[in-house]
Amino acid sequence: MQRFILALLALSLGTSVQAGTSGEASSRSVVESVYTLFAVGDTEGLAGLMAPDIVWNEAEGNPYADLNPYIGPEAVMSGLMARLVSEWEDISVTPHEYVSEGGRVVVFGRYKETWKATGKELDIPFVHSWMVQDGKLVAFQQYTDTAALVATMNDPSASGDVTQSHVGALRQVALVPANRSLVRPEDGVMLADGTLLIADQVHGLVALSPDGAKRPFGDFKSAGHIHEPPARSAGPNGVALEPGGMHVLVADVLTGAIYRVNSQTEQVVRIHQHEFGVNSVRRDRSGAVWFTQSTENNGPHSEARMFAAVDEKPMDGALFRLSPTNDHEPFPELRRMDSGLDFANGLAIDEKRGYLYVAETMADRIIGYRLSVPTGRLSNRRVISRVPTPDNIELDAAGRLWVASPIANALLVVDPESGEWSTAFHPQTEEHDQLMVEWRRRAQSGEPRLELFGPDMWSPLPGLVTGMILTTEGGPIYLTGLGDALVQLTNSE
C-alpha cells in the first residue's frame, strides 16, 4: 500500500523524463550518476554530486535515522555511508524506475545486502525522493521497509555475534531517583557495592544507594567547595574512579578544583587548583593525573564564559598532566600536553592498549594518542572517530568507547581501532530533528548556536545528556546530564 501511494505521489509530479524538458533530463542524469558511482564505490565522486548544504533524511524508523538530518556531504559520507559500508557487505542499490518533474526525481528500486554481524541477507524495496538544483543534489528522503531492516540488524540467530549497538538496543526503564532531586548530575561512577556516586552542584557528590536513598557523600565544603550563586557557583563535573577503585576524582568545570575522595572514609582533599575550569580528570597507574580544560573560564562569570565557547570557538581547550606524587604531597610538575583544542571534554585512558583519548566536543571528534604510562609521553596524535559533539567518554571491558552526545541527544559506541560508531540509545522526536537541521545549518554558516539550547534538544529526557555510568556486564547503564535525574537504560531484549 505504501508503494502504491508513493507511486501516485511520484506520478502526480509529472511524466517520465524522456517526455520532459532538458532540465528534467539533467536532473535525472545527476540522480542516475548517484547509483552508478555507489555501485563502483566512488565515494569522492558521490560526494561531489552533493550541494554543500544537502539535507539528507533516512526513513523514519531506520536505525540510521538517528542523526537525521545529515547536513552536507561530510555528514552524509562519514556519518552515514561510512557506517553502512562498515556494517554491511555485498551492498546492491538497484534503481528500476525514475519519475521526474523539474528538479524532483523519484526513484523506485530494491536494496540487497548482507548484515556482516550475522551473515543474514536483506532484500527490500525502496523509494528515493531527490531534489536537484543547478546540477547538485540538495535534498534526499528515503522510504523503505524499516521493519525488515531493524529485524535483520537485531537478529542474533545467524552465525556470529552482534557486536554493535543500534537505535533500540537500549531502552529507558526509569528515572533515578524517582523524586528527581539531583542538582546537575553531570557524571558519576558505581562503587563495588552498587552505590552510585553522582556529581552534585550543591554538595559536590551525592550517594544513591541500591534501595533509592540519597545523601551527600563527603565533606566537600571543608575542602573548599562553595556553591552560593550568583556570587560564587561551583560545577562538579567529571567523576572517575582511580585504578584500584578506592578513591574517586571529581573535577570542577567552573572553579578549576580537582578533588580526591576516599570511597570508604569519605575524606575529601583538594589535590590541585587549576587557573581555569577542569572538565574531566583521570589517574593512571603511575599515579599521574590527567585532566582537560575546555576553555579559559574562571571567576564570577565562569559558566557564561564556558558556554560562550560554543559560539566563539576560542580554541583554548587543553590537555594537562600532573606528574606522579605520593599521597598528601604536592604534585611536582604540571605539564600542558596538548593545546588549541575545540572544547576539550571527556577523557579516557586505555592502559592495556596504550592509548589516551580526548573528546573534542565542538570539533565533533575524538582524538587519540599513543601513551607511555611510565614516562607520560604522548605520540601519534590522530583523529580516532568523527562523532557529533562528544562529551564524556568511558571505556568498556572490550576496549570500546561509550560516548555521550548532548546535541544529538544520544548515547554512541565507538570502535577506536576502526573509528566506526553506532547508536545505542536515541529518543527521536520531530522537534529534535528540526533543531538538528538548524544546528547544522548554523554550524556551516558560522551563526550563533547557543540560543538553540532548550527542552527540544533533550526532550523527553530530564536534561542535556553529558555522560554515562557503565555498570557490570549485562547490568543497567545510567545516563547523566544537566537535569535533575539519571536515566536508567537496559537492553531491549
Alpha helices in 16-128 (DSSP H): 22-40, 43-48, 73-74, 82-87
pLDDT value at residue 41:
87
Question: Which residue is listed with cell 574531566?
Answer: 280
Mean of the per-residue pLDDT values for the chain? 89
CA distance 465 to 468: 8
DSSP-derived 3-state class of residue 146: helix
Residue 220 identity (one-letter amino acid): F
| 162 within 8 A of 118, measured Cβ to Cβ | yes
User: At residue 2, does pLDDT exceed 50?
Assistant: no
Residue 401: φ, ψ to 5° = -100, 125
Architecture of the domain whose range is 170-491: 6 Propeller (2.120)
Please name the residues in contact with 260: beta carbons below 8 A apart, sequence gap of 6 or more. Answer: 242, 247, 248, 249, 250, 268, 269, 270, 271
Instruction: Provide φ and ψ at 154, rounded to 5°.
Output: -100, 5
The pLDDT value recorded for residue 18 is 39
pLDDT in tens, 129-157: 999 999 999 999 999 998 888 888 765 44
Taking only the tens place, the pLDDT of each residue in 24-50 is 679 999 999 999 999 888 989 999 999
Place of cell 587519540: 368
Q: How far apart are CA 259 and CA 252, in angstroms?
A: 8
303-327: average pLDDT: 93
Greatest Cα pair distance in the chain: 83
Amino acid 418 reads S
Do the Cβ atoms of 256 and 275 come closer than 8 Å? yes
User: What is d(CA 312, CA 308) in angstroms, rounded to the nearest whole number?
Assistant: 6
Q: What is the pLDDT of residue 155?
A: 56
Could you tell me the strand order of the sheet in which 247-252 lies? Answer: 236-241, 247-252, 257-262, 268-273
Lowest mean pLDDT among 375-379, 424-428, 437-441: 437-441
Q: Where is average pLDDT lowest: 146-160, 248-262, 440-454?
A: 146-160
User: Above pLDDT 90, what percent of the chain?
Assistant: 72
How many whole angstroms separate alpha carbon 455 and alpha carbon 464?
8
Beta bridge partners of 475: none
246, pLDDT greater than 90: yes
Q: With beta carbons less than 8 A apart as the criterion, state whether 112 and 122 touch.
A: yes
The ranges assigned to domains in the chain are 2-154, 170-491
What is 2-154's CATH topology?
Nuclear Transport Factor 2; Chain: A, (3.10.450)
CA end-to-end distance (rounded Å), the chain: 30
Distance CA 291, CA 387 (A): 21
DSSP labels for 384-450? Answer: EE--SS---EEE-TTSPEEEEETTTTEEEEE-TTT--EEEEE----HHHHHHHHHHHHHHHHT---G
Q: 3-state class of 70 per DSSP?
A: strand
pTM of structure: 0.72
